[in-house]
Amino acid sequence: MKFHVSVFVGVVHFLSLTSGKAVYGNGISQRTFQEIKEEIACYGDVAKAIINLAVYGKAQNRSYERLALLVDTVGPRLSGSKSLEKAIQIMHQNLQEDGLENVHLEPVKIPHWERGEESAVMLEPRIHKMAVLGLGSSIGTPPEGVTAEVLVVTSFDELQRRAPEARGKIVVYNQPYTNYSRAVQYRVQGAVEAAKVGALASLIRSVASFSIYSPHTGIQEYQDGVPKIPTACITVEDAEMMSRMASRGSRIVIQLKMGAKNYPDADSFNTVAEIVGSKYPEQVVLVSGHLDSWDVGQGAMDDGGGAFISWEALSLIKDLGLRPKRTLRLVLWTAEEQGGIGALQYYQLHKANISNYSLVMESDLGTFLPSGLQFTGSDKARAIVEEVMCLLEPINVTQVFRAGEGTDINFWIQAGVPGASLLDDLYKYFSFHHSHGDTMTVMDPKQMNVAAAVWAVVSFVIADMEEMLPRS
């Protein structure tokens, strides 16, 4: 997950639209909501069959085992790396061998950045070798590094107030972690804001809900007209320590060395597979996760889990001999972490068919025990999705929250297509996010079974209902 997350914590209650004819589907529907409810209720047996297969049956633990094999084999999968391209080739073959339809690769040019060797050593007030991870797209330092005094701030406001002190220094951001959306601004814009006031480099406190001295990397963005300075993340622990040292009046000096380099764009692919619709093959329900990751850990959680429950959704439906009326399309995005590069390419290639997209789904917030579904769409579409989620009562995952957006599906949602994301324990997610700790150890096969069941039931039922989800 790159940097979008917006969680509406309240539960949106079922809308009582039980009388009168209402507009559902792309055109004018003549059906009452009661009729739609009855249609959805008919999927009870299908939902139970999917749940039984995924959670208790032959398919249990399959998505976990498949994921473990991939990420143990190729490791992390940074945009532009050979391991990402190896993973894409393996997945292309996996999807073909799984018997899915229209398995193919759609070419994308993606960023190619490498961190190289890097180090950050505190020289004053005492020698201390710090854990550090350069931020994606950052330039490197000269070979001898940048050695400078530190200015510690806790916010952009404080940086503005103390702007005269920043010139020639390394700015250290010790921003609090209130939530991801707020804190991540320091990772994304920290270098630009520091450069504007004359800093030589910037170090940000890792954006993480929990730390065992773990740096958490991620993308950062330069701005035209602002000098590019090297930027990296440090641990919560070191940011807090420097904040204490500074508050005692200690002079802090750091030597930062980064071998980071940006290379010309590399060739990559979105990986696509389908179960072609029986009645409206041109209409689409899209399920997705991204295959790329950061270059640390195994990219098992972000977003191996999302990619593999998306694949699992199609596998489960195929294994049960089901074929929905609409096409179920699996997309494994490339270069999400660099800003949804694969997703933008896909949107541009396919947007002419936008009127035929019923629902776009992305799982990129973990595949732990799901809390429910985040959904963005019209009230009428939401009411339908809430009914569909009732089918998941046997595994107690029925809640529908706001904010279905995700980096890879936002283009569609902004253009009016309903969108959904899987929601689970975000405190856990942001404990491991973009760190060396994003490995299979975080993943739980039983939780992935449940997540896959949710994903399969929602995508199948929406793809099979008589009408597309209504838009605003």
98-157 residues near a second copy, rule: CB under 8 A: 125-126, 128, 131
Q: How far apart are CA 386 and CA 374, in angstroms?
A: 11
Rule CB under 8 A: say whether 431 interacts with a second copy.
yes
Piece of 104-112, 172-180, 255-263, 434-442 that binds a second copy (CB under 8 A): 434-442
Supply the minimum distance, in Å, between the C-beta of residue 253 and a second copy. Answer: 15
Piece of 65-73, 305-313, 334-342, 364-372 that binds a second copy (CB under 8 A): 65-73
Active-site residue, from 336, 337, 362, 386: 336
Piece of 13-21, 26-34, 190-198, 238-246 that binds a second copy (CB under 8 A): 238-246
Nearer to a second copy, 238 or 274 (CB): 238
SS (H, E, C) the chain: CCCCCCCECCCCCCCCCCCCECCCCCCCCCCEHHHHHHHHHCCHHHHHHHHHHHHHCCCCCHHHHHHHHHHHHHCCCCCCCHHHHHHHHHHHHHHHHCCCEEEEEEEEEEEEEECCCEEEEEEECCCEEECEEECECCCCCCCCCEEEEEEEECCHHHHHHCHHHHCCCEEEECCCCCCHHHHHHHHHHHHHHHHHCCCCEEEEECCCCCCCCCCCCCECCCCCCCCCCCEEEECHHHHHHHHHHHHCCCCCEEEEEECCEEEEEEEEEEEEEEECCCCEEEEEEEEEEECCCCCCCCCHHHHHHHHHHHHHHHHHHHHCCCCCCEEEEEEEECCCCCCCHHHHHHHHHHHHHHHHEEEEEECCCCCCCCCEEEEECCHHHHHHHHHHHHCCHHHCCCEEEECCCCCCCHHHHHCCCCEEEEECCHHHHHHHCCCCCCCHHHCCHHHHHHHHHHHHHHHHHHHHCCCCCCCC
The verdict on whether 158 is a catalytic residue reads no
Rule CB under 8 A: say whether 70 interacts with a second copy.
no
> What's the token pair of residue 344?
């933008």
Piece of 89-97, 207-215, 311-319, 320-328 that binds a second copy (CB under 8 A): 207-215
Supply the minimum distance, in Å, between the C-beta of residue 244 and a second copy. Answer: 6
Partners of residue 288 on adjacent β-strands: 331, 362
x/- letters, 365..404, toward a second copy (CB under 8 A): ----------------------------------------
Cα-only R_g, the chain:
23
Nearer to a second copy, 84 or 166 (CB): 84
Nearer to a second copy, 75 or 289 (CB): 75
Nearer to a second copy, 350 or 434 (CB): 434
Number of residues that bind a second copy (CB under 8 A): 32
Rule CB under 8 A: say whether 245 interacts with a second copy.
yes
Q: How far apart are CA 238 and CA 155, in angstroms?
A: 17
Nearer to a second copy, 37 or 428 (CB): 428
> What's the token pair of residue 266?
């590399």
Supply the minimum distance, in Å, between the C-beta of residue 246 and a second copy. Answer: 11
Nearer to a second copy, 322 or 448 (CB): 448
Rule CB under 8 A: say whether 426 interacts with a second copy.
no
Q: Which of 210, 226, 278, 414 binds a second copy (CB under 8 A)?
A: 210
Nearby residues of 236 by Cβ (< 8 Å), 6 or more positions away? 177, 205, 206, 208, 211
Q: Which of 437, 459, 460, 463 binds a second copy (CB under 8 A)?
A: 437
Supply the minimum distance, in Å, between the C-beta of residue 176 and a second copy. Answer: 13
Q: How far apart are CA 459 and CA 25, in angstroms?
A: 16
Nearer to a second copy, 237 or 466 (CB): 237
329-358 residues near a second copy, rule: CB under 8 A: none
Nearer to a second copy, 29 or 431 (CB): 431
Q: Which of 67, 74, 200, 413 binds a second copy (CB under 8 A)?
A: 74
x/- letters, 281..320, toward a second copy (CB under 8 A): ----------------xx----------------------
Nearer to a second copy, 296 or 381 (CB): 296
The dihedral region occupied by 4, where left means phi > 0, alpha psi between -120 and 50, and beta the remainder, is beta
Supply the minimum distance, in Å, between the C-beta of residue 69 and a second copy. Answer: 7
Supply the minimum distance, in Å, between the C-beta of residue 129 and a second copy. Answer: 10
Q: Which of 72, 282, 379, 393 binds a second copy (CB under 8 A)?
A: 72
Q: Name the residue among 405, 315, 349, 301 with its Cα closest to residue 77.
A: 301
Q: Which of 31, 228, 318, 436 binds a second copy (CB under 8 A)?
A: 436
Piece of 98-106, 240-248, 395-403, 410-418 that binds a second copy (CB under 8 A): 240-248
66-72-76-79 Cα dihedral, nearest 10 degrees:
-50
Known catalytic residues?
A: 336
Return residues touching a second copy (CB under 8 A): 68-69, 72-75, 125-126, 128, 131, 210-214, 236-237, 240-241, 244-245, 248, 297-298, 431-432, 435-437, 439-441
